[in-house]
Structure 1
Amino acid sequence: MPLARDLLHSSLEEEEKKQKKKWLVQSPNSYFMDGKCPGCCRIARVCSHSHVVMLCVGCSTELCQLMGGKARLTEGCSCRKSNTNDPHNFLNLGGIAESLIGCVILVNLSR
């Protein structure tokens, strides 16, 4: 008895409706953004679901505010989605390390 729908080859619309852990191939919803500071015009890499307030390195202004889920950019701060497929992005390890620190939730491993 054949199934009414194909479980291995579901459509894109069906996959988008599911929760991220129920997708056929699990992947995170978060992404990296290049945020431009309104004060000094420096570009900093910000995680979209950051749990830490990201500050500009040059002028210490707040680039994003915490909202519980996604981070909201402050007024005047412009952003674009980072191109993570570009191999030159991974040469700047300092920027990636700063962004990853903002995305990591610290876990207490006391026994």
Structure 2
Amino acid sequence: MQQNIIQTVTPSEPRAWHRHFFIDHAGHVYRVSFRIGEQATWDHRFHELDGRELAADELALSSFHLWFIQVSCDAAVGAKRVTFAAPANVNLDADIAC
């Protein structure tokens, strides 16, 4: 299983990009990074395509969007083979893993 996860300041809290891009109701394309727990994902964060972190209220998200992000991130971690294109906090100007 390949996950290409990166270690944050705390080694027990790996953070990864979701392998897909997302689109909000306004047509804004964004990415999601998350931490991996024992059987689920948590600490979902939203990012511009260049990696800059977005506040949730900067996106036009419905409760369905939030549910779908949680479920698809959990499914990615539970898959037999998971591939993330790039770590979530590599080559970024901002520290997005805090």
Verify same fold: TM over 0.5. Answer: no
Q: Higher RCO, 1 or 2 (CA under 8 Å, sep at least 6)?
A: 2
More strand by share: 2
| TM-score range relative to shorter protein | 0.3 to 0.5
Instruction: Give the structure-2-normalised TM-score.
Output: 0.35
Instruction: State which structure, 1 or 2, has the greater radius of gyration over its C-alpha atoms.
Output: 1
